[in-house]
């Protein structure tokens, strides 16, 4: 697969912790827009490349707003692409592997039991395809639509999508506006805003799969994870919440102090058996209802890379790549293997429309949905 080299200026003098990351690379191998140019549903699709002044570089296609590549330096200034993905649009369209690589998720991230819910006395049936559940918005969720590109700058892009009333069974015309930005603080900042003309569940999130070694460069079980959560949401055998949150204390789900992801992942805990590892919502220790607050951090000791997650949301889904089978190669020509990537999805809780004890996900006409997710990168010596 041919790749282009994108010139990077000002690689030295990185802000914050990354001041110790001395870069010796003047160019990065990024993918050409031509590999993503097409027309789908009568709308143009292509690939966009963003970069900040420090060299952080992201490529995104407007088909599903998928992050295709994300180049981040290590402590020695060597850049690696740390997200899973494919090198062409065709690979995403004809994909026998993981569906949600790098995509925007909606109208409802995570699972809804039996694809059903009631709202104001009316029953709604959504598409079912994940053990009979509705997962990540349905058969044609926001990951499979062409988003409008409203404007593009060197370090920021604005998208919008109008989800029509009845799409995938959800009520109401939902207008979503979203931006991806690379800030001078080495943040990948995602901002979501939405409005509806009928009451409807809304739970938008982002689904990049990260490996701080670089895509295809080995396990994530050696990554050191911290999650600011005193409780998590236990599930049944098809990963639907049981309806209550449980303390993480004295369980394999306690990441309040940093520990290797692999330390307890093979524990014979029933919850880990249901998810083949970690695939659970964590109830974040929040001080406010809507301010941007710390949620989690991941540290990879070999490279020194650090990823922090900040959010306005009450929950964080931590998924440890348990369902990858190594049968499909990524864009580096290396298989996407079992537990060689992780997702950290900021969100409201799974199945909230059927769980009255959980924070509501119902957006009313006249209200505004607003959600910020920040993935912030740094280095440790």
| Residue 213 is among the residues annotated as catalytic for this protein | no
Q: Which of 113, 136, 206, 207 is catalytic?
A: 207
Residue 312 phi, psi dihedral angles, 5° rounding: -95, -5
| Residue 207 is among the residues annotated as catalytic for this protein | yes
Two tokens at 200?
């409807």
> Any bridge partners for residue 83, and if so which?
210
Q: Would you call the peptide bond into 107 cis, given omega within 30 degrees of 0 as the criterion? A: yes
User: Which helix or strand (DSSP H or E) is residue 91 part of?
Assistant: helix 89-93
Residues listed for the chain? 381
Could you give the dihedral angle defined by the CA atoms of residues 232, 235, 239 and 241, in that order, rounded to the nearest 10 degrees? -80
Q: Which of 113, 167, 345, 348 is catalytic?
A: 345
- d(CA 138, CA 171) in angstroms, rounded, equals 13
Two tokens at 119?
């709202």
Q: Coil, helix or strand for 101?
A: coil
- d(CA 339, CA 111) in angstroms, rounded, equals 21
Question: What is the layout of strands, in order, in the sheet containing 66-73?
Answer: 47-51, 57-61, 66-73, 79-81
The catalytic site residues sit at 207, 345
């Amino acid at each position: 697969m041919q790749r282009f080299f994108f010139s990077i200026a000002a690689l030295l003098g990185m802000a914050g912790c990354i001041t110790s990351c001395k870069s010796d690379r003047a160019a990065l191998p990024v993918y050409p827009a031509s590999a993503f140019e097409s027309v789908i549903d009568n709308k143009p699709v292509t690939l966009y490349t963003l970069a900040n002044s420090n060299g952080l570089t992201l490529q995104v296609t407007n088909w599903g707003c998928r992050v295709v590549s994300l180049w981040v330096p290590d402590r020695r200034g060597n850049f690696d692409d740390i997200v899973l993905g494919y090198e062409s649009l065709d690979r995403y369209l004809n994909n026998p592997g993981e569906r949600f690589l790098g995509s925007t998720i909606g109208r409802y991230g995570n699972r809804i039991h039996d694809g059903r819910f009631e709202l104001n006395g009316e029953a709604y049936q959504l598409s079912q395809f994940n053990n009979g559940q509705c997962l990540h918005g349905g058969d044609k969720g926001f990951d499979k639509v062409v988003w409008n590109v409203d404007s593009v700058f060197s370090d920021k892009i604005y998208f919008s999508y109008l989800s029509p009333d009845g799409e995938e069974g959800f009520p109401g015309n939902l207008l979503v506006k979203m931006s991806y930005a690379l800030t001078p603080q080495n943040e990948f900042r995602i901002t979501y805003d939405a409005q509806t003309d009928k009451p409807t569940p809304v739970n938008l999130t982002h689904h990049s799969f990260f490996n701080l070694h670089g895509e295809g460069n080995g396990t994530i079980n050696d990554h050191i994870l911290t999650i600011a959560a005193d409780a998590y949401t236990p599930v049944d055998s098809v990963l639907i919440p049981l309806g209550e949150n449980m303390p993480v204390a004295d369980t394999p789900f306690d990441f309040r102090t940093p520990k290797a992801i692999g330390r307890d992942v093979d524990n014979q805990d029933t919850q880990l058996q249901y998810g083949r590892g970690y695939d659970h919502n964590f109830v974040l220790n929040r001080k406010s209802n809507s301010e941007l607050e710390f949620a989690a951090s991941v540290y990879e000791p070999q490279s020194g890379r650090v990823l922090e997650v900040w959010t306005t949301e009450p929950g964080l889904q931590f998924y440890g790549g348990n369902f990858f089978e190594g049968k499909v190669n990524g864009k580096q020509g290396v298989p996407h293997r079992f537990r060689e990537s992780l997702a950290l999805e900021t969100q409201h809780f799974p199945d909230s429309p059927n769980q009255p004890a959980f924070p509501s996900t119902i957006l009313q006409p006249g209200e505004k949905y607003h959600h910020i997710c920040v993935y912030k990168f740094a280095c440790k010596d």
